[in-house]
Amino acid sequence: MSDTTDNRGEKVRSLRDTIRQVRTAEAERSDVVVELRDAERARLEILAEELRSVFNEVPAEDEQFIFSVAAGTPPRLWIDMTSFVVMARDRRSYRFLKDTRLGRTIILETAKLDDMADTITHYVAERIIERERSMEGDWLIKRVMRDDATRREASSRREEGRRAESREAIADAAMHPAPRRGVDPRLTGWLVAAFLGGILLGAAVLFIYAWIAVG
């Protein structure tokens, strides 16, 4: 509260005057904050303009980059979803930050515009190469999986074909059994003749033995 004195020299406190003074002080501080924020945004826009040609060379199908100055406290120049540039506490140095699984890390802090622009350009190139490698790896994985599926399908078709042929062969054998082969008549005649010859030979031997024994 503000203090005043009356005719008797005593202090008289005025709440209304004090509120006016506080509001005036806050407005002055707000003006300073706004001016500082505008100054930071202006510096970030200068950096963005320095990188305009780099941003324009990024392939249109690569959507991982943002390249936009966002208003806020503090203002930020977003490079992608995890990296951005803000002004350091001295309001003159650029600070390139990146959010990772291990926390936020400072890639570079410098007051030199060219050094920051070079670092961001190198970072963008690395991210583009990483994306290309990732896409190439995904393509190779899909190609291997597709080839493997094709081989399995071909092997399955061959196995099914062999099973079908086996089933057809079994069914054909059941429907058309092989004819039984009869005994050759000539072989039967030779067997009968050999049997009779053996009997006659045995009888002759017995007759000769008996005749010798009686005589």
d(CA 46, CA 96): 15
d(CA 6, CA 173): 132
pLDDT higher than threshold 80 for residue 19: no
Does 97 fall in a domain? yes
pLDDT higher than threshold 90 for residue 81: yes
pLDDT higher than threshold 60 for residue 6: no
Residue 191 has a pLDDT of 73
Q: Is residue 117 within 8 Å of residue 50, measured between CB atoms?
A: yes
Does 188 fall in a domain? no
Compute CA 32 distance to the chain's CA centroid, rounded to the nearest angstrom.
49
Residue 165 has a pLDDT of 77
Higher pLDDT, 57 or 207: 57
d(CA 154, CA 160): 10
Does 208 fall in a domain? no
Does 199 fall in a domain? no
d(CA 102, CA 16): 52
pLDDT higher than threshold 60 for residue 33: no
Q: Which pTM does this prediction carry?
A: 0.54
Does 163 fall in a domain? no
Distances (CA, A) of 7 to 16, 18, 59, 66, 213: 20, 21, 80, 68, 192
- If one counts the domains in the chain, the total is 1
The per-residue pLDDT for range 42-78, each reduced to its tens digit, is: 899 999 999 999 999 998 888 899 999 998 888 999 9
DSSP state letter for 1? -
Residue 135 has a pLDDT of 81
Which residue range is the domain that position 61 belongs to?
Answer: 2-7+10-135
